Structure 1
Amino acid sequence: MSLRIVVCVKYVPDATGDRHFNEDLTTDRESVDGLLSELDEYAVEQALQISEDADDAEVTVLTVGPEDANDALRKALSMGADKAVHVEDDDLHGTDALGTSLVLAKAVEKTGYDLVICGMASTDGTMGVLPAMLAERLGVPQVTLLSEVAVSDGKVTGRRDGDAATEHLEASLPAVVSVTDLSGEARYPSFKGIMAAKKKPVESLDLDDLDIDADDVGLEGAWTKVTDATERPPRTAGTVVEDGGEGGKQLAEFLAGKKFI
């Protein structure tokens, strides 16, 4: 039986761009270029490595987002994923992590899975809670923040590196895992892969397809909201400390005044 791997990916604003909020304090995704979240590229890479080591495996990439999020799917497909699922619905605007976990869980169940792989966090929200929420909704084990991951004999195993210790973990399939940026450099899509990605299937789903009420997602259904935001002040010239014998003292006073020390 084929090993069904689903990789959850996110289309995020380019961190090098000039990012802003909309009037409703949701992220303005129209005025800045977007791309596949870098941390999710590691998840795609690990899925592809597991697929290559398996006798029979299929990798599906899944995203929730606007029309442009299709670009993130195409990047993952060009890396080597087999097919993609795109959940797009206007009522999803403003959905928080809890609502997104609901949508992803429904989509994963509809797609069919043995293993779900996520990045450790998105590069825009950086909450890092979605893998755990997704595992809870699916009712399966979670093995998160792995720097190594492998699948064999109906189990997923991995290594989690902490500040004080290294843990070796395992869980029975089906399961949800997340991988860190130490799990291995993501491959660069080849020209052949980019061309092949154009012919790979991308299934489109909306809330009706997933039997989700619009009131449970979106900005109105969100459990967490941004209530206030202030524009970052323009960068100033800074403070120059001229060392006339008291430079170290002046520097210490400056750092203490900014509560850096």
Structure 2
Amino acid sequence: MSDSFAEQLSNVKLKPSKNKTKDFSDPKLAGFITKDQISAYQKTALEANMEEWQMLLADVIYCPITYSDAKHFIQIFERYFQKLHEHQLFDQIREQMHTWFNDDQEEKQWYEQIKERLQKTIDQAFPDTKNFFAKTSSRSAKDTCIFKEDFLQIYRSELSKFPDTLQENSRITALLTAAFLSLCVTSASDVLSMFIISERIYQDMLLATEAQNTTDSLFKENIILRPFVPIDVDMEFRGFVFQ
């Protein structure tokens, strides 16, 4: 009997790709000709941040990211995870995501401080809510789903709900659902573990620190949380606003 798709996934050894997959939601950080072009692009990108339209939403809380916080996110990613991402050393990312601060007391102190601040915000705003979705002002850390320890277990659980687990569409749907459910967090440490290893968060912090005022009181970035709401993965739609 052939191995299940879940077992095949667990045995996959990915080879580095010569052509890196492009995430088209990445901020543009190069290719400009003039400073005016850079400023215009950065202004447009920041205008899409959640703070600019959050008044339309409910049940959303904010925990401020200071300029110095953003610099810590950048420094930690560059020091411990950037090379691992570039060489697609995913097993090492999993190993290091919970141990990186053992060698750096300064970064560990910052981590403990922001974790305490974030957890206090969560406890005060949502005393009766256990599961959350978290993002920064621009994007989520959805590129980190595969690094969660229980990702394969979640996938198998979702696949078992289909009558035909060998059908390709069943496998794809289970995989997408597992990725979505992996974005559910329960604590500040969950949130920070994802953000610190996320290339998407790293890129957004780079743009924010380059384009915004460096004074902590004027720097406008946040960790944004809301109660986690399960949705059917085929009900995600993309829209474009034309003015």
TM-score, normalization by structure 2? 0.26
- Which one has a larger percent strand, Structure 1 or Structure 2? 1
TM-score, normalization by structure 1? 0.24
Q: Whose radius of gyration is greater, 1 or 2?
A: 1
